[in-house]
Every structure is written in C-alpha cells, then in structure tokens.
Structure 1
C-alpha cells in the first residue's frame, strides 16, 4: 500500500473510533447530601462524559492523571437547582399591553438571554410552562446542541385554556380584531386535539389552567376554568402519550377539579382549602407555590406595565397564598420549587428559598424542593437533583453553609452542567 493510502486509511480508522471519554475531577470543601441533609467534609467527585461516576472522600479518591481539575475546597458543593415554573420568553418590565408589541422572533431571542441568566444563577434544569409558537421547544434543542447556553429545558409548548381564559387566550385586543389565542380549546375533544398538537411539536409536558389568573385581563383569579369533564379528557390524553400535566390554579374549586382530573402538579395554589390539601396528599399531586414574586408585582408592577386590575388581584392573593403554603407544608403535602420567573427579573430565582423558610420550611426542605422533589415531578428522578454515580454532573458551589443561611444560594459562585463549567466567579 502506498504511504498516502496508508495515511488515508489511518485517518478514516481514527475517525471511526469513539472519542476518548473526558475525565473531570471536582474537589469539594464540603458536599451537601440532600437526601440525608448532611454536609460531608472534603469530598471528591469523578465525572466522565458529563455523568458522575464516583463520589468519595478526597483522601480515597485522588485526581486521575490527565483529568480536568476544579478545586472547590473552600466552598460548599450541592446539586444544580431546578425551577418548575420559569417564563423564559418574557421580561419583568414588559407586562400588560406592552406585550402586544413583542414578536415571536423577539420573544425567542429574549428566551435565549434569560436562559443564560437562569443557568448562571445555579438553576441547571427548568420547566417552561408555555411559550408562543413552540419557542421553548426550539430553545431546548438549541441548548442541547450547544448553539445556546442555558439550563436543561422541559417545554410545555402552547398552554391550553378556555376562550377568554388565563391560559391560551389573549384578552387585550377588542372584538373587532377577531383574535383568539393559539392555545384556546373548548370541550373535551378540542382539548384532546390541542394535547395531540403539543405532543406532535415536541412538548415534554402539558400546561393548562383550571382557574383565572392575576396577570390576565378580565379573568377572576379564583374562578374555575374548564369543567371536570374537560380537564379529565385533557389529562387522559396527555398521560396516554406519556406526558405529565400541570395546571395553573388559584381558586379552591379549580384546584380540586384539577386534582380529581389527575394532574401531576398545581401551580400557584393560592386559595387551596383543607379538602384540596387532603386530595393533594392522597393523590401525590405536587403543589408549586410561587411565594417570592408578590413584592415585585406590588412594588414594581405599575412601572412594568402590569394592569391596575392585576395589581388589585395580587393584593388579594399574596398574603393568603403564603399562609396556605404554611398550611400545606404543615399538613405534609409535597411542595415543589417554582417561582414564576419572568414576572420578576430572571436570575433571582433563589430569592424564593428565604420565603419558603420564613413560611415554615427548614433550609434543607426548601433545597430538597428544588432538587429531589422537582426531579421526581419532572420525570428525571435518578438523573438530576443529587450528586450520585449515574446522575448528570450538574452542580453548583457557594461560599457558605446553606443549611445555616439559605440566602447564600442567592450568590452562586460556580456552575457546572453536564460536566461543563458555565460560571466560575470564585
């Protein structure tokens, strides 16, 4: 064989070989075991191809030759956080009628910007409960390809709701425009069709609304939306396609209807009553209370374009929602971590931890909500939310003890997702 031919064959053979696994070594001053709630001193993690392969005492696990080393000996390391309710495609200073001027391309670019901010805040996985034109699906794929920087995204596609309701419709335009939102569906077969459409275009889960909302024009925040028959059809269709369902629900009746229909989680849960809490416990429905954003809505909302009727609704909602968070926690309901980011500025997600502690949780319970509880809710149990062999190498580092002062999570110094570092501000 000629030398040139031998070189060509060698090159082709090299291309056929799998790439060598990259080994990453992380040294942690202390590591938070979220299951036990213990801080383990002087730990090391060995990572290959974005997954954790070993966790041990640093003395028993030295760095292998050739490994990429990250020395976090002066920091507390814990799993990457997750947020179950993040509106990446909206900004906190664009509410009400201002949103009519936002095109789909602009919203998509805004989503890419906010995805980076969210990841740099330490949130390595998020659930996006609805986006225009399947922009969330596109962003999910762009991040997975490496074309954009952001957390692991679970996309709902287009939120589904009734005519004139909080989800699915847009009530800002007058009748003569003949405008109906892209997620509107009335009746059991119509909601099934919308679920099928979302599945067709790549939704990871389904978002609906079973009550009115705070930030929508013309809806009563506690009033039911969708009948039990319609909600049951929606959930049956989604579950038949292997998709979980979450329902925006403030009012007690709408919360009960959604739980009885079989939804997997309730967003907001502001006016939940004792029966709703009992049903949630009985059926394993996760309650996602967004108890941080009240201050922003009432303090900055008018400047951001939030409608006067929405500000009035928030005045009725905020204090009651926080008291019901306390009641639901005391009763033993499962509480996830979701913030409604986009109502307030992105990147401030961790500010909710201190509110959760103020209204009844211990710091480790709040951290578990944003790790192991959300992992189960997302269907990613065994993949995210813990630092164990086989899990994605998603981890963050803070300079302090989050079990003593949960606000240290508001200043994340180091972020790794899938073995890649996206922030190092030590």
Structure 2
C-alpha cells in the first residue's frame, strides 16, 4: 500500500519527552515502510473521581483520554492511562469528579412572556435573550438541551449560529412552537392553536418542513377537563412517528395523562398526577418521564412564602398565589411522595428544568438532581437521568451521554465527590463539549 505525500510536512510538534511527530499530506506516494508514525494528539484528563453516566459506575483515581477530534479514546485508571499513553499531555484536576456533560430535556430558550417588559421583545431582543439562555446553560455544565417550544425557527437559527462559530451554545435539539387546542394551555404564550386531526397533521408537517427535530403537544392545564380529544392525540403521534420523528406531550392531570400514554407519546412532560399503574404502563411501552419537579417546587415555595407573609386584599400577586396554591401544593407533595416509587418501576426518567419564571434561577438542573436524591435515589442514579437516559431518548446514545470510548467528549469537571454529594455539581470547574473547553470557572 502507498500513500500520497507530495505537499510534504504541514505541521511539526515536539511532544513530551522531546519526541517530534509529523503530519504529512498532499500528492505523490510513500510506502507504509517509509511512512512515519501518523499523528494522533491526545489529552489525558485526570480526577480523583469519575462517573461514567451509566447509572452505576464510579471510578477512583481515573482518567479520560480525548483525541484531537474531540472524541473519547479511552477511560480508566489514571496510572494505567499514563502508562498506556506515555508521550501525551496530562491535565490532573486533583480532587474533582469528571462526569458527562448534563442534558436539560425541557427548556424554552425563547420564552420571554414572563418578562415584565415583554412589549420590548421584538425578534432581535428575543434572539439576544435566547443567546443568553444558551450561554447560561454552558455555565451550568449543560452541554445538550431539548427545547420544547420557542418562537418559530429561533432554535434552528441559534444552533446554526453555533455551528458557524458566531456564538457558543450547547447542542440543541428542538421542537418548533408547541401545539394546543383553540384556547388551550399556553395559547397566550406563543403556542400554535390547532383543532381537529388534519389541522394537527398539517401543522406538524409545516414544522418538520422548517427543521423541527421533535413535536410538542400541550393537552392539559390546571383542570381535569381534557383538551385535545383521543383522536387528535392519536393523530399527532401517528403523524410524527410515520416520518420517524418523536413527540412530547405536556400532560399533568387525569384523564389527559392516560389519553397521552395510550396515544403513544415518547415522553410525558410533567406527569404530575400520574398513578403507579400508569408509570408501569409507560415503562412497558418504553415511554420516558420528564417530571420537571423543580419548576413545581419553586412555584409552591413562592406561593407558600406569599401566603405566610400575609397580604392586602388589593395585592394582585398574592391573590394569584392563593389561587395557584390550590394546584401547586398537591403537585409538590405528589412528586415528593411518588418519585422514588415511580423511579423503581424502571421507567426512563430524564431531567428537565422548564423554568421560565421572571427572576427565578435559570435552568436549575442542579436543583432537579438534588430533589431526586432527596426523594430517594442515589447521586449516581441521578446523574444517569441527566446524561445517558436523555441520550437514549434523543437517539444520540452512540454520540453522547457517557464517558466511554467512541463518544463525543462532552465532559464537566466539578469539585468534590458527586457520588457522595450531588450538590457537588454546583461547584463547576470546567466544561468541555466535543473536547473543546467551552466554559471555565477557574480564575473567577
């Protein structure tokens, strides 16, 4: 076998130990025997702890080996990796945990409707707002998001801007604007109103034509009255699945939950008042649950604080809190009392923040993980809900979601031992996406 080399040497590096490596390219020919060693740059990142993201594996004194293309080449014991790759550079972070980049499965980068000056938000301002949300995501260790309803084409263009290198953004998977019935949940927040099977099918076709990756349906508000009919929900799933696209449904109350499960939605968003039997049915069907517990917890705490402080009859915000408490208090306790039982059915659980309140903590995926541990699962299991579980649901398990050879090097570095204390995810050091350092907390 012969390879071409006419353009001679294009780069030359001196690696650790004084050894020089060459990269050849161009035209002409050189035999295998004459060809020098092919250049492969590796970086070895070491830490006292490593969580792979599979829900069970915690390595001590570990290392991740990443190649120049941003892929993970090897994972294992630090000393073994250093011995296996003696000429490559080592970055030892010390007493930290290395773990996969996190995934938030329920965001709304373009949700500006809770802003007190929303009248100022034209298309340009919405784009700036979304960019800031994306920047915040990286600063929290979130390297992948699924946006489930933002203004038309916003996420498509934000992702393109990231691909062109104009801005740094996480990996974005997105639906277009969500769909509700006329007057349904979210109709005043940029949601498309559609009625009947064929309006739903047409809107799905338009959104997929325009580049949506997922379909989002909303079918329950805060009452037990179902919104879309069973036939409409069935049509939404059928239209999505027949072209290989997955679909998510906002459903929190009965009977909309059972209707959504029966329709075959791939993910149930919120699922606030699910029953144990329904969750077992979801597990058997392969449907995933994105509980978004933090959003409901924050709203419950806000209402509780307002009510305990007392309020004047003319205080409109407090009056609304009193009304909302009738929904958020039972929702809070439903999650608290049921999460562990539901998790133990084997249903696929994914983290999602869905935090769109004005002045609320943005994208609080860390709080979601803390609640999961507080309600009974282990930190390593919680990490799985934010890493490999989302990857599987997104169909990206061969690209991301774990620290293992062959996958993209989406990795975060946090101080402390996440396997013992999930709150360690709050102490972020560095964030890597496909091997590139996209955020650092060092020196801040």
Same-fold status (TM-score > 0.5)? yes
Partner residue of 2:36? none
Alignment of 1:98-137 (within 5 A): 99=118, 101-137=120-156
Partner residue of 2:101? 80
**How far is 1:304 from its partner?**
12
C-alpha offsets along residues 101-127 of structure 1, whole Å, 9 cap, x if unaligned?
A: 533322221111111111111111111
* TM score, norm. by length of structure 2: 0.81
**Residue 82 of structure 2 is aligned with which of 62, 72, 86?**
62
**How far is 1:47 from its partner?**
1.7
Given the alignment of the two structures, is residue 401 of structure 1 paired with residue 417 of structure 2, yes or no?
yes
**Residue 371 of structure 1 is aligned with which of 370, 387, 407?**
387
**Residue 411 of structure 1 is aligned with which of 427, 432, 442?**
427
Pair 305,89 (structure 1): closer, same or farther in 2 beyond 3 Å:
farther
Pair 156,16 (structure 1): closer, same or farther in 2 beyond 3 Å:
farther
* 3-state secondary structure, aligned to 1:401: coil
Q: Conserved in 2, the CA contact under 8 Å of 1:222 and 1:271? A: no
Structure-2 separation of matches of 1:403 and 1:136:
34
Structure-1 separation of matches of 2:226 and 2:348:
23
Q: Conserved in 2, the CA contact under 8 Å of 1:120 and 1:347? A: no
**Over aligned residues, Cα RMSD in angstroms?**
3.0
The answer for unaligned runs of 5 or more in structure 1 is 1-7, 172-180, 213-219
Instruction: Return the index of the structure with the highest Cα Rg.
Output: 2
Pair 141,311 (structure 1): closer, same or farther in 2 beyond 3 Å:
farther
Q: Conserved in 2, the CA contact under 8 Å of 1:79 and 1:396? A: yes
Q: Conserved in 2, the CA contact under 8 Å of 1:270 and 1:324? A: no
Structure-2 separation of matches of 1:358 and 1:149:
33
Partner residue of 2:355? 341
Q: Which moved more, 1:293-302 or 1:277-286?
A: 293-302
Q: Conserved in 1, the CA contact under 8 Å of 2:299 and 2:328? A: yes
* 3-state secondary structure, aligned to 1:197: helix
Alignment of 1:170-181 (within 5 A): 170=188
Partner residue of 2:372? 356
Structure-2 separation of matches of 1:36 and 1:300:
33
**How far is 1:41 from its partner?**
2.2
C-alpha offsets along residues 378-401 of structure 1, whole Å, 9 cap, x if unaligned?
A: 111121111111111001111111
**Residue 288 of structure 1 is aligned with which of 290, 295, 300?**
290
Alignment of 1:229-308 (within 5 A): 229-300=231-302, 308=321
Alignment of 1:137-148 (within 5 A): 137-148=156-167
The answer for unaligned runs of 5 or more in structure 2 is 1-6, 11-23, 28-38, 307-314
Structure-2 separation of matches of 1:156 and 1:70:
38
- Count the aligned residue pairs: 398
**How far is 1:59 from its partner?**
2.3
Alignment of 1:139-178 (within 5 A): 139-167=158-186, 169-170=187-188
* TM score, norm. by length of structure 1: 0.84
C-alpha offsets along residues 244-263 of structure 1, whole Å, 9 cap, x if unaligned?
A: 11101011211111111111
Q: Which moved more, 1:358-367 or 1:127-136?
A: 358-367
* 3-state secondary structure, aligned to 2:265: coil
Q: Which moved more, 1:381-390 or 1:52-61?
A: 52-61
Structure-2 separation of matches of 1:38 and 1:15:
41
